[in-house]
Amino acid sequence: MNTETIQLSRLIDDGYCLFENVLTQPMLSRLRDVVAGLRESDTLVASKVHEMRSAMAHPLFADLISWSPVFDRLSSMGFENPTFTDGYIICKPPQSAPLFWHYDWFCWQDSRAHDVMPQQVFLMYYLTDTSVANGCLRVIPGSHQRHNVLHEHIGNPHSQKLSRAEDVDQLAFSIRPDEVDVPVRAGDVVVGDSRMLHAAHANKSSEWRTVITLWFQPDYASLPDRVKAQMVQKTQEIPADWPVAAATRVKALHPTYAGNAKPYGRDLYRKNSATN
Ligand SMILES: O=C(O)CCC(=O)C(=O)O
């Protein structure tokens, strides 16, 4: 088996895989400079857990969204024409709370919500090396497919209460017996199924820890119409003042849908069924 086939099996079985050394050092430096500028300009929306902003905040993110080495990796996994909908810059301040367990899939009502192939994946690029000490990613392998006890307790996985980390004693913030840490080196990319339960450790270090999360649909053409409509609806608008070249590159990756199917909306709850 070649590396990409192994990574595809991991994505399908565990819900995530890791590609090392995908970004160059100059690209990492540019991303760090832009993120530092955004933080200084005070335009990120802060919570106890992190500060967050859309990746449309700066045209440099067009370079990351269309980063060709990643498309080569996706293509070798059989994903020839992925689409891109939205992205976020997530900065964890020094001494900040853990990020709660959640998934990022919104179409659980769909009859194909439990398909083997992911309908949507995140690409997470960390701008620093990560470890348990500075808030690395944590995942529950297999939770994109199999029922997990957390599904019965987390309710709306994106509620304001969770974002504000008001009650860190609740299960959504707990250390789970089946969780796995995903420490990375800056420049790696984690590819994960949006249905998988994931979280992040507290940042106990004295440095900021930033991740840029980009949402792709690896095989958009094969998606059910209502899911397509949903993806088009959540696609972030490209700012009018972006340079034409940057805007064109991102626009070329946007999904399109000309049918009449109704988007699912943000129906965040996964069915609490022990059978899947
Ligand atoms: O902050 C992190 O490490 C994870 C971010 C995350 O869970 C997300 O973007 O959905």
Tell me, yes or no, whether 272 lies in a domain. no
Query: Cβ < 6 Å from ligand 1: which residues?
Result: 88, 90, 99, 104, 137, 198, 200, 211, 213
pLDDT tens-digit map of 36-81: 999 888 766 666 678 899 999 999 999 999 999 999 999 999 999 9
* Signed CA dihedral, 56, 57, 58, 60: sign only: negative
- The residue whose CA is least distant from atom 1 of ligand 1 is 200
Nearest atom within ligand 1 for CA of residue 102: 7
* pLDDT at residue number 275: 37
Nearest atom within ligand 1 for CA of residue 124: 9
pLDDT tens-digit map of 145-182: 999 999 988 777 677 677 666 777 788 889 999 999 99
Tell me, yes or no, whether 269 lies in a domain. no
Phi-psi sector, 24: left (phi>0), alpha (psi -120 to 50), beta:
beta
Nearest atom within ligand 1 for CA of residue 130: 3
Phi-psi sector, 21: left (phi>0), alpha (psi -120 to 50), beta:
left
Of 49 and 207, which is predicted with more confidence?
207
Nearest atom within ligand 1 for CA of residue 136: 3
* pLDDT at residue number 269: 67
Rounded CA-CA distance 276/148 in Å is 9
Containing domain of residue 192, as a range? 3-251
Q: Are 212 and 204 in contact (CB under 8 A)?
A: no
Tell me, yes or no, whether 108 lies in a domain. yes
What's the whole-model pTM score?
0.94
How many Å lie between the centroid of ligand 1 and the Cα of residue 91? 10
How many Å lie between the centroid of ligand 1 and the Cα of residue 260? 33
Question: At 247, which helix (H) or strand (E)?
Answer: helix 244-251
pLDDT at 273 over 50: no
Share of the chain above pLDDT 90, in %: 78
Tell me, yes or no, whether 15 lies in a domain. yes
Tell me, yes or no, whether 47 lies in a domain. yes
Tell me, yes or no, whether 273 lies in a domain. no
Tell me, yes or no, whether 82 lies in a domain. yes
How many Å lie between the centroid of ligand 1 and the Cα of residue 138? 9
Residue type, 202: A
Can you give the CATH number for the domain in which 96 is found?
2.60.120.620
- The residue whose CA is least distant from atom 8 of ligand 1 is 213
Tell me, yes or no, whether 9 lies in a domain. yes
Q: How would you class 129 by CB atoms within 10 Å of its CB: exposed for 0-12, middle for 13-18, buried for 19 or more?
A: middle
Q: How many domains does the chain have?
A: 1
